[in-house]
Amino acid sequence: MAWMSWGFDSPRVHMRFSVIIPALNEEKNVGKAIAALKKQKVDGDFEIIVVDNNSDDNTGVVAKKAGADKVVVEKKIGTNLARQKGVEASKGEVLAFLDADSIPPEDWLFNIEKVLKRKNVVAVSGPYKSNKPLADFVTWRIYPLVPKLMRFFTTKKGGVILGGNFAAYRSAIEKIGGLPPIKFFGDDTAIAVLLARRVGKVVYTRKVWVESSPRRLEEMGIVKIGLVYFKHFFKIYFDKKYK
């Protein structure tokens, strides 16, 4: 397991973390994500679990060579299906989720722990840095306002989670019956809504951020991907099964 000791002046993490990385054909990226995790400036023990989501390439082999503590396989393709497989293979009290093409700063876990220590907080998420100004504006400036606006106009509880950058208590995820089996779009919204309505507070903060690849934006275009995201957001937000 990853073990970092940085002396008495360094940030100290006391919670037991499991970092779960779902990965589909990510042999070019997953090693970089693992390398970044090994640079976390914390005193503590945490495990890195990569879930190979039925890749056609050498994702699993690369992950193991890069130092993942566990590499497990989920043959059914879907981000939450892969994440849940990682949950089942993990041991941590706190489950942190990172995309394979994302790079966390060295104080990522430390900042996550600080937020989770707040009263009634059960999950935390934050923005992506993609070097795409409009996309970054949305995740850094607009997303923090969404729960407040939705609560004001609809009275419904909710939260914002970005699936490639969030953490939650294991006990909280267990209370919602595990991660909802949504393949992709809407997967993170469902997690946020269920946790906020059934368990406790979901915090979205700029202090918990990661660098993220803009490739999906480049493939789909920001307008199209924005419309798809918000379509699924509103669909789930008002779906009675997520009450």
| Tokens describing residue 58 | 């050498």
Q: How confident is the model at residue 3, as a pLDDT?
A: 39
Q: How confident is the model at residue 150, as a pLDDT?
A: 62
Higher pLDDT, 187 or 228: 187
Model confidence at 215: pLDDT above 70: no
Higher pLDDT, 218 or 20: 20
Q: How confident is the model at residue 125, as a pLDDT?
A: 97
Banded model confidence at residue 30, pLDDT cuts 50, 70, 90: very high
Mean pLDDT across 66-79: 97
CA 169/CA 172 separation, integer angstroms:
5
Question: What b/e readout covers 101-135, taking b as 16+ CB neighbours within 10 angstroms?
Answer: bbbbbbbbbbbbbbbbeeeebbbbbbbbbbebeeb
Name which of 32-36, 162-166, 229-233 the model is least confident about: 229-233
Q: How confident is the model at residue 228, as a pLDDT?
A: 74
Name which of 2-11, 30-39, 57-66, 224-233 the model is least confident about: 2-11
pTM: 0.86
Q: How confident is the model at residue 236, as a pLDDT?
A: 80
Mean pLDDT across 37-50: 90
Model confidence at 4: pLDDT above 60: no
Contact status, residue 185 vs residue 232, Cβ threshold 8 Å:
yes
Question: Structural domain tally of the chain?
Answer: 1
Summarize pLDDT for 110-148 with one digit per residue, the tens: 999 999 999 999 999 999 998 776 667 777 777 777 766
- Which residue's structure tokens are 């970089």? 32
Higher pLDDT, 168 or 139: 168
Strands (E) located in 24-135: 44-52, 70-73, 94-98, 102-103, 121-125, 128-129
Model confidence at 99: pLDDT above 80: yes
CA angle, residues 100, 79, 71, in degrees to nearest 5: 55
Q: How confident is the model at residue 153, as a pLDDT?
A: 54
- Average confidence score pLDDT of the chain: 86
Summarize pLDDT for 142-165 with one digit per residue, the tens: 777 776 666 655 557 878 999 999
Q: How confident is the model at residue 172, as a pLDDT?
A: 98
Q: How confident is the model at residue 10, as a pLDDT?
A: 46
Q: Assign residue 213 the CATH number of its domain.
A: 3.90.550.10
In which domain, by residue range, is 35 found?
A: 2-242
Mean pLDDT across 70-80: 97
- List all residues 6 or more positions away from 235 whose beta carbon is below 8 Å from its beta carbon: 186
